[in-house]
Amino acid sequence: MKKRMKKGEQFTRRSMFSVLGTTLLIPFLGFGSNDSSQPIASEEDEYQTLLKPDGTTVKVKVSTLKKSKVIKKDISNKSFFNWLGKKL
């Protein structure tokens, strides 16, 4: 039979694996979480994703969208695809 560890005995591989396994649990316990004291994003920092005519996406500030003016409302799908340069 194997001898049990005594106080003066060296650190073995088996005990090293148990220590390593418990250190991997630290992120799940929440010790590494961010502070909640960071400022909350204001309305100026919020972005919205929009579609460009060539089909790519772009992020635009919400404040810029509120200041913009609408040229034509309620367009049909056919005219929208013509504007994009795509065929039905």
Over the stretch 2-49, which tens digit does the pLDDT of each residue have? 566 566 667 788 888 888 888 887 777 766 556 666 555 554 478 999
The partner residues of 50 in beta bridges, in order of sequence, read: 58
- pLDDT for 5: 57
Delimit the domains of the chain by residue range. 44-84
Arithmetic mean of pLDDT, 57-69? 89
Rounded Cα gap, residues 88 and 60, in angstroms: 28
In this prediction, residue 18 carries a pLDDT of 85
Cβ contact 16:46 at 8 Å: no
